[in-house]
Amino acid sequence: MSELDDDYAAAGFGGHLEWGESPAVLVIDMVRAYFKPGADLYMGSRDCLDATGRVLAAARHGGVPVIYTRVEYGPGGVDGGLFFRKVGALRSFVAGEGGDLGEIMPEIAPRPGDLVIAKQYASAFFGTSLSATLAALRVDTVVLCGVSTSGCVRATAVDAISHGYVPIVVRQAVGDRDPRPHEANLFDLAAKYAEVWDEAAVVERLAR
């Protein structure tokens, strides 16, 4: 462990949350805007997309529910509030104005029967039916893939634990536009709000 790890552990951070009996995979905002060169939100890497594909294959093999989110705004971002005003790149998700940037990447496209939730803010829980849906499915653990680590993934993980769901963040299946916020947020999530698992371990668990 590093000196930082030791310091956090001594302060009581980094407790362990057990994976529950009924997981669901949540794919957060894996849309073209993050993977299309030249787009404002382009991350420059598709590694997390490829990893998400492998996680989804394991989930479907194991009969684990898969839920997607995407961002969509009404005309002029009228339903985006201060968040829309703060982050100019969100204009990519105004209905009818962003072209195909709000479409989920075809490599991991939803299958018939998969739920796709449209959201306007960072957390997949805020202002959506997600928590009620998970409760109805008797889900106790949410496996998080998607973008960005420092934004919508983090916000969703914090809200997941606040709603009583164990958040499992798949290290290789989340991404950000820079490795510094990516790694800092994975560290902080593991210390306070979630479990951060490697892809191989998640795939093995889901495929059981």
As annotated, the active-site residues are: 152
∠ CA 131-135-139, rounded to 5°: 105
Instruction: State the DSSP string of 147-185.
Output: E-IIIIIHHHHHHHHHTT-EEEEEEEEEE-SSHHHHHHH
Which has the closest alpha carbon to 140: 29, 17, 15, 13? 17
Q: Are 169 and 186 in contact (CB under 8 A)?
A: yes
Q: Are 143 and 150 in contact (CB under 8 A)?
A: no
Instruction: State the DSSP string of 49-103.
Output: HHHHHHHHHHHHHTT--EEEEEE-B-GGGTTSHHHHHH-GGGGGGBTTTSTTTTS
For residue 34, the SS3 value is helix
Q: How far apart are CA 176 and CA 44, in angstroms?
A: 9
